[in-house]
Amino acid sequence: MLIRIPKSSEPRPSEITPESVYRGRRTFLKTSALGAALLAGCSQAEDEVVSGGGELWTTPVKGPFSTDETPTPYESVTTYNNFYELGTGKRDPSRNAHNLKPRPWSIAVEGECARPGVLDIDEFVRPYALEDRIYRLRCVEGWSMVIPWVGFPLNTLLSRFEPTSRARYVAFQTLYDPQMLPGQRRKVLDWPYVEGLRMDEAMHPLTLMAVGLYGKVLPNQNGAPLRLVVPWKYGFKSIKSIVKIRFVDKEPPTTWNRAAPDEYGFYSNVNPDVRHPRWSQRKERRIGEFLKRKTLPFNGYADEVAALYAGMDLRKYF
């Protein structure tokens, strides 16, 4: 059974910001002369207006774990994407982003927890303080970026639902809606996209729920209105546009593992010593750079997370 459970200690959305700053701003852009001009102009401008980049409802504070490496330019972060629900080409997600409407949006949290619920996105995330966190992202395909995310630790959100001792894993699900996500009209993957983490991975302070990047609202092509960011794992673990979170007692199925189990394991920790069956994972190309870099174990986050896997054979549990 699903119930709505905003905790009384948490501020109401209306106490934090007047009626939907986010929505109001977008409406302004769409109806004003400026908005009309932008919408009538080149498609790039249209993408930016309709698919994110607006003001957040609160100013992010500087969070922990940020790299001091130079962030990948906004242009690349928002036009070189993997989001198969919006097309399989790197530029498809930004081109098709306008189909996705990140409001209204609700998220169901269910399974092994004392307080399951279905919450509206704004009610859901506004009580949390937002942080700026600059993380490396390493795609399994061999490229990487440095992305200044805005978000909050996943653990603050999960605790609110009071997972029980039977909750050993967390399963995540992306929206299934072929209108908003036209890539789902073709069965290139088993829709909806699903992912999962072990409970201790989900609760780790590095694991982020992102609602923005570069200090602004998350563009649709990057997984609006909220997406996971697990920086020590290959990019595909960082599931976009989440509508469901489920606490479970067994390892949940994951989309890429189901598609090619010998190529993509459940853990998918960045590991230069374990090659993908079709290519080496020793090096990566940072988007915007010419020479390749060495890929680091756990994507450079070993000090923070290696202990989670103490005693595990990471060739077997790849």
Ligand X SMILES: Nc1nc2c(c(=O)[nH]1)N[C@H]1C(S)=C(S)[C@@H](COP(=O)(O)O)O[C@H]1N2
- Based on the shown chain and the rule CB under 6 A, indicate whether residue 149 belongs to the binding site for ligand X: no
Respond yes or no on whether the N-terminal peptide bond of residue 104 is cis (omega within 30° of 0): yes
Q: Which does 222 bind (CB under 5 to 8 A by kind): Mo ion, ligand X, none?
A: ligand X
Which one of residues 191, 236, 256, 301 is an interface residue with Mo ion (CB under 5 A)? Answer: 236
**Tokens coding 226:** 């909220």
Tokens describing residue 25:
């701003």
For residue 306, what are the β-bridge partners? none
Judged by CB under 6 A, the stretch of 29-37, 55-63, 117-125, 234-242 that binds ligand X is 234-242
Angle of helix 21-31 relative to helix 33-40, nearest 10 degrees, comes to 70
Nearest to 281 by CA among 139, 88, 83: 139
139 makes contact with ligand X (CB under 6 A): yes
Give the shortest CB-226-to-ligand X separation in angstroms: 12
Q: 63: Cβ–Cβ under 8 A, 6 or more apart, which residues?
A: 131, 132, 133
Name the DSSP class of 279. Answer: B
CB of 167 to ligand X, least distance (A): 23
Q: Tell me the window of 90-98, 101-109, 123-131, 232-240 that interacts with Mo ion (CB under 5 A).
A: 232-240
Count CB-CB contacts under 10 A for residue 171: 22
Q: Which is nearer to ligand X, 247 or 256 (CB)?
A: 256
Q: Pick what 281 binds: ligand X, Mo ion, none; C-beta below 5 to 8 Å, kind-dependent.
A: none
Work out whether 82 is an interface residue with ligand X (CB under 6 A).
yes
Contact between 235 and Mo ion by CB under 5 A: the answer reads yes
Number of residues that bind Mo ion (CB under 5 A): 4
| Sole residue written with tokens 């908003």 | 180
By CB under 5 A, name the binding residues for Mo ion.
82, 139, 235-236
